[in-house]
Each structure stands twice: as C-alpha cells, then as structure tokens.
Structure 1
Amino acid sequence: MLAWAEDAAGRLAELDVSDEALQALTSARDAARAEVDELGAEVSAGRRTAAEGFATEVGAELAGLAMKSASVSFSIDSHADEPGPEGVDDVALLLAPHPGAPPRPVHKGASGGELSRVMLAIEVVFAGADPVPVMVFDEVDAGVGGQAAGEIGRRLARLARDHQVVVVTHLAQVAAFADTHLVVDKSPDAAAGVTATDIRAVEGEDRVRELARMLSGLSDSDTGQAHARELMAVAATGRD
C-alpha cells in the first residue's frame, strides 16, 4: 500500500498543471541545461587540450610502423546548442598518409593496412588504460615486411601485457613474437564435397619449422630454420 501510495502521488504530481508546478519544472529544466552546458564546455576544453599530445604520440608510433610520413590530427566541432550523450562535440580522427595530402577522416582516407596500423598505434598509446580485454588484429601487417614487420610484432607483444591479443598474420616476423602460435590448416575432402579446417598449436622444433615455412616456403630448409631461430631469439629479447 505504501508503494502504491508513493506511485499514485507521483502520477498525481505529473498531472498537476498549475502555474507553480509549471514554474518548478521550468526551473528544473533550466538548471539541468545550465549544468549540461558547463560540463559540456569542460569536456570540450579537455578534448582540445589532449588532442595535440595524443596525435603526436600516435604519429610517433606510426613512424615505427612503416608510416613515417603519416600524421594524425583531430577535428573537433562544438555544437553547444545540440548537446548529446557524448557532450557538445563532433570529433573525427584525421589522417594525412603523406606530406601534401589533405587530412581526411581515418575511416575514409586510409587503406585497410593503414587503418589497421593506425588502430594498433592508438591501442599502444592507450595501453593499460583501455578496458577492452580482448583485441583481434586481422592482417595488421598488410603491405609491410622486414624491419617494419618486426616493429609491428614488438608492439603487439607490448599490448599483450595488458590484453589478450589475437593476431591473424602470414609474416614470420610478427608470428615470432607470439606467446602461443596456432596454425590453421584446410583439408578439402573431395569425396564428401567439404573442406575441413584444423587448428593446431606448434611449439619447439615444430614452431621453428613453421616459421621457416612462413619465411621461405620450405619448412626443412636449414637456412630457413636458422633464420627462424634468430627471429625467435630477437622476439624473446626485444619485447621492450
């Protein structure tokens, strides 16, 4: 009965259209809008202060990911008259892939490989502060090789300190940094008309042979295996 009475009193108050009730609602609305405007301005100022430093840190990471000439920046447009759940700003991350190129929203101006590397750079900068427990990178190393691939592997390993990182890669330089190396094999069954997929973990000498296969296509090549062992040694000592 007490709960019903409380609910009924609330419903009755909503039906009250007296001048006093309307004035109270107007005052509450104006106070709430003033608070929204104040908080929105604080958030907007904080974003503008953080944007330059954040863009510089992301740019420094991109330099090590075969995007030395790329730069990132932010577009922050405020609309104080149209506040939303995320404040009064429309924020866009812009990418200029090379000098002279106009900055464009990263989702419009970046190729698939560039977008993956930009996201990797952002996650590295955010490492330890991002609440996302699992990250999946598919072909983050597209279009790179050599030293740049090794830098990608190193950064992925750094992310793995605070997150579970799942990486799909065809580069041995990246795979060498993994804590767990899984190989996906497809086996077509012509008789049944289906293709079976198998996933197996490789360790020890099996992993050496797999990395050698990724490097040269020859799992039993002495040269390829020597290179694979070298990659694993570099990865074991170069995660920092």
Structure 2
Amino acid sequence: MLDLLHIENIAIIEQADIAFRPGFNALTGETGAGKSIVIDALSAVLGQRASRELIRTGADHAFVSAVFSHIPEGLGEDLGVADAQEWLLQREIYTDGKNVCRCNGRPMTVTQLRTLGSRLLNIHGQHDGQQLLDETQHIVYLDQYGRYEPLQSAYSAQFSVLQDIRRKISDLEMNEAEKERRMDSLRFQIAELERAKLQPGEDEELSERRNLLRNSEKFISALQGADFCLNGGDNDAGALSLLRQAQEHLASVRNLSDSFSELHDRLEGIYSDLYDIAYTVQDKKEEFEFTPGELDAVEGRCDLLYRLKKKYGATVEQMLEYLDKCRQELDEMTCADDTLAHLKKQEEKARREVMAAAGELSRQRKAVAKELEQRILTELRELNMGSIRFEVAFEEKKPDASGIDEVRFLMSANVGEDLRPIQKIASGGELARIMLAMKNVFSSQERIGTMVFDEVDTGVSGRAAQKVAEKMARISREKQVLCVTHLPQIAAMADTHFSVEKGVSDGRTFTKVQELSRQQRREELARLTGGEQLSQTMLDGAEELLAAAEKFKKTV
C-alpha cells in the first residue's frame, strides 16, 4: 500500500506531501491544476520513463520519494531488496539526464526500480482503453490472464527448433545455378590454398629469414671481424692469445702476493667468458650459409603469402581455418541431397511436435477464455452494461511465435445486435468500462496492493458513472485505490478526498495538494457539479451524493 508520496520540483509542483490512506483515495481539481502531474511523479518514482523536461523551471533536479507498507514477503528478493515493514523508493532526476534511484537507501538502476514498482502498484491511464482497439493485443491480454507459462515455454522451444531446421533447409535449397557457382568458387579457393602448402607459423619464420638474407653481407662482415679480433690471423695474435699471455706473466708472481693472485684469477675468469664468446662467433659464422637463389625464393614465398592473406585471412592460421570451412561447406553441398532428405524428416517430426504443443496451448487458451468471458461479463454488469455480450473469438492461423490462435474480443452492446469486433462498435465510455473490468479481473490474480486510475472515467456519465464509482469502491475493499477524476459520483465514493489546486505566488505558478474535510468535500463536489458559483441547491445535491456513497459503502 502507498502511504506517502513526496514531490519536489516536478513541473509546477514545487513541493508536496500526500499521505494516502487505505481504501479509496480520490484526487480532484480544475483542468490544468496538476492532477496528472501527481501521477507523473508517481510513475517516475516507480521507474517509468521520466524526461528532464519534467523538472520545474529554475531547478537543477527533481526528487520524488514514496513510502509503501504491507509488502508481501519475498517481493524483492530477486532484486536484492530485503523484506521490511516499509519500503522507501526514491528517485532524483537531473537536468543533465542523470538519475539516482534507491530503495531503502540501497542504490539501484532505473530498470530495477521499474521492476520493483510494477510489483507494488498498477497505473491505468485514460488512454489504456485504446489498447483494446489493437487486436494484436487481445491474445496478450488472454495469456496474461491464463498464466500458462509452462505450455508457452514448451511451445516456444519446439517452434524455435522447427525454425532452425527450416533455415538449414532453405540454405540447402538454393538455386541450382547459384549452387554450382558457389561450389566452383569453393573448389578454386581450396585448390589455391592447398597448392600453397601452408605451415602454421611460417610467415613469422620467413620474415625473420628474409631480414637475415637481405643483410647477409653485414652479418658476415661483422662475424668475420669479431672472429679476427678474438682469435687473430696467421700472423696476428687475437684477444684470446694476448689474454692468455697476460695470465701467464702474472702466474709467476701469483704466489708472492694476494693482490697479484686476485688479478690472475680475474684474468682467468675473463679468459673463460671470452673463450665461450669466441667459439659462439665461430659457430654463427659457420651456420650462416645460404645459396645464391635463396633470397629470391624467400621473397617469392612472402609475396605469395601476402596475396593469400588479402583474400583469406591475416595470418597463416586464419587461412588454414578458412580452408577447413571451405572443405566442410563443399562437403555439405556435395552431400546436400542426403542432408536435405535427413532435414526433411527432422522438419516433419518437429512440425508434428510444434502442432501438438500448439494444440495443447490452444485448448488451454479456449478453456481460460470461457472463464475470462464470464468474469468480464460479471464485472460489466456491475458497471451498468447488463445487456452487453462479450466473447473471446478464436481463428486458427499458420503457426508463429505465439501459436496457432488468432484471438479477437467481440462484443454486442445492445440487445439483438450481432457480436462484432470491439474497435468497430465500442464507444469511449464503453471502452473505459471494459478496460476497468479487465484491469479488475487481472489485478485479482496479482499481489499488487495499489491500483491507480488516471481519468479513466472519460466518456462516462450519469448512471454509468455511478456504477463505475461503486465498482471502484468494491475494488478498494481488497486493494488500495487512487483515482484522478472529474466526476462527482466517483469523488463522492472515496474514503479519502484530495484537492489539487493551482495558484500564483511571487510571479511563479505553483500547485498544492490538500486532504479535504467532510465540509470541504461537500463544497468540492458542488463545484464539480455546477462550477465556482455555489448555490444551496448545489450544496444539498453534493450532500446527497456523499450520504448515498456512505450508505453504499456500508454494504460492500
């Protein structure tokens, strides 16, 4: 149940606190006073779309909070919201588009807030009735009421399998000329890649070898020079020979002094390292062998790989993967007849399973439709539509994602008239009452504790308005009801009545919301009936409305 709505800087509402109560709460006021702004604020704190244009002129952000009580256990468990006696939902909307949302101080996303809000409160707007004119929504309403998710899931899974098989068949049943062109292309690509005899990693090895060959003279010259310096020539001593001579000179005095011994040992270590380096240089020089045409061969191979990479992949590994795919596709096309025959058998089996699942879903829908018809008719009779006939009509269609059922709501508003599609015969007032009946039927299956009706009385007057008021009074005995209305019959039936008024202060327009006393309600109902100039007759009529409403509420 919604206990408190706090609003800051929403449109022309600078600040307002509305303490809603159990039962039937009504909001009335002149057109443009800001009644719908209250609903917009409530929608915002429940995570619905909220434009930055909603922020009051001159403010940098808007803030809305709502306190809910009597929360069903486990309602927010999947969103990480712990059970509590009360939930405090908050939302800040900034001019730069930023949103800050919280539940009991815990940050959450707008999507999470919207999910949570949908479980706490249901808003029925004045335009919702227009959805009834869209026949594609009729099956959605029926499924929403039916609650046969396991059957829908089973059908969806079977239909998905059938669609996948049919896609594979379509791919195989391509035009024969196109198929031949594709096979010729695959054969050419396979042959080109196979002739290349690709080896994983060879592009890196070739690049390194090409760099070596291109600079062979520099490498050879460097190795020969280093070898001469280390090992010397026929007539010249190298570094190794000279270092050995230095070591032998120091050997004669190494035993006479510790410092000379240390020098001798250091030379020995240096000689050992230099010896290893000298032989490594020699090994490199001996390894560096190549034939005169090797560079041309490596260059040619690199050019081949470059051309292939432009067509088949950035690396040798990617080209080999592409080759495997081509081989596989060609094999599949070559064996297409066998594969197609196999898929056809799978398709027939999947089609039978789809039709079986669709049939079971359809049977369940038709059973639920009969129950829905009776419940809606009961509701409509309570809304002064006693002669109405309402029927959920079925037509079979080609299986699609929703099944094999084409669902339409038919009605006849007058005795002797044939059943026809709602959109062809229902007036605005009839649409409003049918939608109200459906909302009440659907809400009875949900754990939602609060229902909001935003000017759903459009097109309703007289006795029909009185019946709508009585229906809302009945609903409010099981759920909290909030209703924005222009009709005195509905406002009179409320347990708690709020007035929404617009004024001007310091050059700025503002809206205030106040709860009305019994006497104030009498005056407000008189204004709703006859305008600003109140007469005693109008006041007496308002008193009669209140008294009649109080008498009726004692019976429900």
Q: TM-score, normalised by structure 2?
A: 0.34
Query: Residues 62, 197 of structure 1: CA spacing in aligned structure 2 closer, same or farther, 3 A cutoff?
Result: farther
Q: CA deviation at 1:188?
A: 8.4
- The separation in 1 between residues aligned to 2:419 and 2:504, in whole angstroms, is 46
Query: Residues 199, 42 of structure 1: CA spacing in aligned structure 2 closer, same or farther, 3 A cutoff?
Result: farther
Q: CA deviation at 1:37?
A: 0.9
Q: CA deviation at 1:162?
A: 6.4
- The separation in 1 between residues aligned to 2:502 and 2:396, in whole angstroms, is 52
Pairs within 5 Å for 1:147-226: 148-160=464-476, 165-186=481-502, 196=509, 198-205=511-518, 206-217=520-531, 218=534, 223-224=540-541, 226=543
Given that 2:454 and 2:483 are in contact with CA atoms closer than 8 Å, whether structure 1 keeps it comes out as yes
Bigger mean CA deviation after superposition, 203-212 or 61-70: 203-212
- The separation in 1 between residues aligned to 2:470 and 2:389, in whole angstroms, is 21
Q: CA deviation at 1:203?
A: 2.7
- How many residues are paired up? 222
Query: Residues 70, 25 of structure 1: CA spacing in aligned structure 2 closer, same or farther, 3 A cutoff?
Result: same
Note the aligned Cα RMSD (angstroms): 3.7
Q: Which has the higher contact order (CA 8 A, sep 6+)?
A: 2
**1:129 partner letter:** Q
Q: CA deviation at 1:180?
A: 4.5
Given that 2:492 and 2:546 are in contact with CA atoms closer than 8 Å, whether structure 1 keeps it comes out as no
**1:202 partner letter:** E
- Pair 1:125 & 2:438 matched: no
Gap regions ≥5 residues in structure 2 = 1-320
- The separation in 1 between residues aligned to 2:454 and 2:421, in whole angstroms, is 21
The SS at the match of 1:41 is helix
Tell me the equivalent position of 2:459: 142
- Pair 1:234 & 2:551 matched: yes
Query: Residues 197, 139 of structure 1: CA spacing in aligned structure 2 closer, same or farther, 3 A cutoff?
Result: farther
Gap regions ≥5 residues in structure 1 = 1-7
**1:68 partner letter:** G
Tell me the equivalent position of 1:65: 383
The SS at the match of 2:409 is strand
Q: CA deviation at 1:111?
A: 0.8
Q: CA deviation at 1:23?
A: 6.4
- Pair 1:84 & 2:397 matched: no
Report sequence identity in percent: 30
Q: TM-score, normalised by structure 1?
A: 0.71
- The separation in 2 between residues aligned to 1:156 and 1:32, in whole angstroms, is 49
Query: Residues 72, 29 of structure 1: CA spacing in aligned structure 2 closer, same or farther, 3 A cutoff?
Result: same
- The separation in 1 between residues aligned to 2:443 and 2:381, in whole angstroms, is 18
Query: Residues 97, 222 of structure 1: CA spacing in aligned structure 2 closer, same or farther, 3 A cutoff?
Result: closer
Tell me the equivalent position of 1:4: none
**1:65 partner letter:** L
- The separation in 2 between residues aligned to 1:130 and 1:107, in whole angstroms, is 28
Query: Residues 236, 66 of structure 1: CA spacing in aligned structure 2 closer, same or farther, 3 A cutoff?
Result: closer
**1:42 partner letter:** E
Q: CA deviation at 1:154?
A: 2.6
